[in-house]
C-alpha cells in the first residue's frame, strides 16, 4: 500500500503502531520523499506517533564497527534471540551511497540474513548519502516510526571506520564490534578518536588467540566508566557464526536500557539527541549560513531542547523562516 491508501496521518500512524508492514513501508517512503507536500505529511505523521508517547519501553540500539567485523551476522544472531523472547524487531541497515543515484548499494537483505516469513522482523535499507558521520539526517525520523511499531529498533552501519560518530548521538545503546587482530580499535580508543560505546564486542572469538589478545588489549585501553554517567562499559566476546555469547550480549544490552530508565535519563537523552538531528537536517539543507541565521549552533540546540512543541513541526517552521531569507 502507498501512503495515499491511508486517508489521514492518524490512520497511517495507527497502522504503524500496530506493526502493519505495508503501513511501515508507506511511512518510511514518505519520510524519504523530499517534496514539499510529502514533508508536510511526514511532520503530521511524526506528530501523531509522538503524541503522548515517549516509547520508554522501546529500545533503540546501534551496532557499528569496521568492515569485516561480522556486524551483520551478529545482528542476525541477536534478532534470533530477541524473537525467541517474543520481541518484535525493526532494522535500519545503513548502506554506502551510490555515487550516481545516491541510493543504497547493498540492499535490505544482502547483509542481513533473516527470515523473510517472520512478520516480527522488518528490515529497511537506506543510504548514508555520503555523510561523514555515517548516517543521513532521515535516520532519526525513520527511527521514530520504527519505535512506534517494534519493541527493538536496530541500526546497523556499514562500517566505514571510526568516523561514525552520529550513531552515538542517535541510539539509546551503542555497541562497537571490533575486528580481532586489526589493532585499529585499540589505537583509536587510545587516541580518543573512537566515540565511547556503551558496549564493546569482540566478535569471531572462535579465532582463538587472536581474539583473546584483542579482548585483553581493549580491556586495557578502555576507560570503563562511560561519560554518560553510571555505566561501566563491558567488553564481551562473541561468535555470531557459532551463536556463542549472543544471549549474554542481549542481556547486557537490556541491562543498559534498564539503567537508563532507572536513572531517568532515557527520555531526556532522546530529546537532546532529537535536537541534534534537527540541527543536522537544517545544516544539511541550508549550510552554516542557515544555522547562523537562526542564532548559531549553540543557541539553536538550546532552543530545540527547551521547545515544548513537536520537534518536527518546529523544524518545519524553522525551514520556512530560512526559505524566506
**Ramachandran quadrant class, 111 (left: phi over 0; alpha: psi -120 to 50; beta: rest):** alpha
- The answer to whether the beta carbons of residues 164 and 64 sit under 8 Å apart is yes
Distance (Å, whole) CA 203 – CA 70:
7
pLDDT for res 159: 57
Name every residue whose Cβ is closer than 8 Å to that of residue 36 and which is 6 or more positions away in sequence: none
The 10 Å Cβ neighbour count of residue 178 is 29
301's enclosing H/E stretch is helix 297-306
pLDDT for res 104: 40
pLDDT for res 70: 87
Residue-wise pLDDT for 139-160, tens only, equals 888 988 999 999 999 998 865 5
- The answer to whether the beta carbons of residues 121 and 91 sit under 8 Å apart is yes
Question: Whole-model pTM?
Answer: 0.86
Distance (Å, whole) CA 102 – CA 82:
33
Which letter does DSSP use for residue 166 in this model? Answer: G
Distance (Å, whole) CA 167 – CA 276:
12
Residue-wise pLDDT for 44-99, tens only, equals 888 888 765 668 899 999 998 887 888 889 999 999 999 999 999 999 988 654 33
Q: How many CA atoms lie within 13 A of 57 on its CB side?
A: 6
Strands (E), 216-267: 235-237
Ranges of residues in the chain whose predicted pLDDT is under 50: 97-111, 131-133, 162
Distance (Å, whole) CA 241 – CA 135:
27
Q: Specify the 3-state DSSP secondary structure of 120.
A: coil
Buried b vs exposed e over 200-220: b needs ≥16 C-beta within 10 Å? bbbbbbebeeebebbbebbee
Amino acid at each position: 500500500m502507498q501512503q495515499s491508501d491511508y486517508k489521514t496521518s492518524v490512520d497511517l500512524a495507527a497502522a504503524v503502531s500496530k506493526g502493519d508492514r505495508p503501513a511501515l513501508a508507506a511511512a518510511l517512503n514518505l519520510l524519504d520523499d523530499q517534496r514539499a507536500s510529502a514533508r508536510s505529511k511526514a511532520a503530521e505523521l511524526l506528530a501523531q506517533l509522538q503524541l503522548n508517547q515517549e516509547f520508554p519501553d522501546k529500545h533503540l540500539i546501534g551496532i557499528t564497527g569496521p568492515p569485516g567485523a561480522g556486524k551483520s551476522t551478529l545482528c542476525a544472531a541477536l534478532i534470533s534471540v530477541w524473537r525467541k523472547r517474543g520481541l518484535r524487531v525493526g532494522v535500519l541497515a545503513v548502506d554506502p551511497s551510490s555515487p550516481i543515484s545516491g541510493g543504497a548499494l547493498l540492499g535490505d537483505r544482502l547483509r542481513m540474513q533473516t527470515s523473510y516469513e517472520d512478520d516480527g522482523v522488518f528490515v529497511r535499507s537506506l543510504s548514508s548519502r555520503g555523510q561523514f558521520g555515517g548516517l543521513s539526517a532521515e535516520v532519526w525520523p525513520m527511527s521514530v516510526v520504527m519505535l512506534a511499531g517494534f519493541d527493538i529498533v536496530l541500526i546497523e552501519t556499514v562500517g566505514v571506520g571510526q568516523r561514525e560518530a552520529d550513531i552515538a548521538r542517535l541510539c539509546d545503546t551503542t555497541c562497537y564490534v571490533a575486528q580481532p587482530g586489526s589493532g585499529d580499535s585499540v589505537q583509536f580508543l587510545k587516541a580518543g578518536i573512537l566515540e565511547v560505546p556503551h558496549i564493546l564486542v569482540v566478535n569471531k572469538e572462535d579465532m582463538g588467540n587472536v581474539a583473546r589478545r584483542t579482548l585483553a588489549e581493549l580491556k586495557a585501553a578502555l576507560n570503563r566508566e562511560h561519560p554518560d554517567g553510571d555505566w561501566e562499559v563491558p567488553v564481551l566476546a562473541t561468535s555470531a557464526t557459532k551463536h556463542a555469547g549472543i544471549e549474554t550480549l542481549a542481556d547486557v544490552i537490556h541491562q543498559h536500557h534498564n539503567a537508563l530508565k532507572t536513572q531517568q535519563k532515557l527520555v531526556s537523552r532522546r530529546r537532546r539527541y532529537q535536537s541534534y538531528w534537527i540541527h543536522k537536517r537544517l545544516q544539511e539543507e541550508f549550510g552554516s549560513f542557515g544555522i547562523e541565521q537562526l542564532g548559531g549552533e549553540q543557541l539553536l540546540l538550546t532552543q530545540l531542547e527547551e521547545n515544548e512543541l513537536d520537534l518536527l513541526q518546529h523544524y518545519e517552521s524553522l525551514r520556512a523562516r530560512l526559505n524566506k531569507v
